[in-house]
Amino acid sequence: MGYSIPPLHPFLTKEGKEGWLSLVAALLHCEYWVLGRLNFIVYFLIGIIALFHKLRVSVSPWLIIHRNLRFFICVICAICGFMFFTHNIFAMGDVSKFTFAQLQYNGGNWNPRPNAGKRLMWELIKRTSVEARIDTITVRADDINLFEYPFIYMSGDQEFPPLSDKEISNLKLYLEFGGTLLIDDSIGKSDFGFDKSVRREIKRLFPNKPLEKMPTDHTVFKSFYLLNQAYGRIMEKSYLEGITLENRTVIIYSQNDLGGAWSKDPLGSWEYEAIPGGETQRAMAFRLGINIVMYALTGNYKQDQVHLPFILKRQM
């Protein structure tokens, strides 16, 4: 018994036509797309098979499908993916790259080192396999887009007014759901100005969890480079402080002006001198910055001692 071709595709009733005719006809009949998506896919694929294997379309389509079942399954899945999910997929381009997001807040000086993030991203791309955007972006604590970024940088050199209740609640939710906040004090004076405001806001975020000194064996000191202390433009404190939730440090606080060590002007000159250790100290500040980004992306993955030999290799 011969195979009966549905009237939706009369072009397949003619014997002896090559596969490319099937492909052209399927495209010309795209007005039936909404009513017969599955028919379109089946006959389009038959045309592909005929084109590459020089078959005649008079052969039963089901015989062709049977002989090329794996190919059909793969291509149908791919086509269906593009049909139904094209509006929500961002697999390539800048959208999928790591972004240095800086927190903007009212009052004070939320951006004392405007060139810091861009230079750190340049070093991150050069030294690691992380795909990142060079350009930085700003985000507010009450912005729903906050949740699009795994890492947020907050900086300042002045006292600032309290964040709103909405900003506090949204920022807390962000941290509890996997986000990481790096706070960088650009002047490094304890209980004064920016530091005073930061400690006040952290108490509002987590009333029962005070800032604690991060030990030197914390994962952040070995997530990419092996370090034994904190660094920055200045050396106010040899350690970092943090807030840890369920074995994950969600807030990392530096009082050594990391951004000042990273900052380069548009002409390529360092904007601030690293004191007292000079360029060696600056290099360590970059390593710490990269470690913090890697920690935000991987968590405690590098806590396992099996990674230690590979980390030690990078010190050479």
User: What does the mean pLDDT of the chain come to?
Assistant: 81
Please check whether residue 100 is in contact with residue 94, taking contact to mean a CB–CB distance below 8 angstroms.
Answer: no
Check residue 68 and give its pLDDT: 63
Q: How far apart are CA 265 and CA 118, in angstroms?
A: 10
Backbone dihedral angles phi then psi of residue 15, each to the nearest 5 degrees: -80, 155
**Model confidence at 110: pLDDT above 50:** yes
In the three-class reduction of DSSP (H, G, I as helix; E, B as strand; rest coil), residue 100 is classed as coil
- pLDDT tens column, 49-92: 655 555 444 555 566 666 666 666 766 666 666 555 544 444 44
**The domain spanning residue 268 has which CATH number?**
3.40.50.12140
126 and 226 assigned to the same domain: yes
Whether 4 is in a domain gets the answer no
80 and 105 assigned to the same domain: no
- pLDDT tens column, 174-229: 999 999 999 999 999 898 999 999 999 999 999 999 999 999 999 999 999 999 99
- Under the banding of pLDDT at 50, 70 and 90, the label for residue 94 is low
Strand 248-254 and strand 241-245: the pairing is antiparallel
Whether 5 is in a domain gets the answer no
79 and 170 assigned to the same domain: no
81 and 100 assigned to the same domain: no
Domain final residue pick, 85, 113, 139:
85
DSSP class per residue in 167-193: HHHHHHHHHHTT-EEEEEESS--TTST
Number of domains comprising the chain: 2
Please check whether residue 235 is in contact with residue 277, taking contact to mean a CB–CB distance below 8 angstroms.
Answer: yes
User: Which residues does residue 270 pair with via DSSP β-bridges, in sequence order?
Assistant: 264
16 φψ region: left (φ > 0), alpha (ψ -120 to 50), beta (else): left
Whether 1 is in a domain gets the answer no
Check residue 43 and give its pLDDT: 61
Whether 3 is in a domain gets the answer no
155 and 31 assigned to the same domain: no
172 and 211 assigned to the same domain: yes
Q: How far apart are CA 275 and CA 268, in angstroms?
A: 20
- Under the banding of pLDDT at 50, 70 and 90, the label for residue 28 is very low
257-285 average pLDDT score: 97
Domain final residue pick, 65, 85, 105:
85
Domain final residue pick, 50, 85, 120:
85
User: What range defines the domain where residue 30 resides?
Assistant: 10-85
Q: How far apart are CA 170 and CA 174, in angstroms?
A: 6
Helix pair angle (37-53, 69-85), 10° resolution = 140
- Under the banding of pLDDT at 50, 70 and 90, the label for residue 159 is very high
Q: Which helix (DSSP H) or strand (DSSP E) does residue 243 occupy? A: strand 241-245
Write out the two tokens for 297: 């992306």
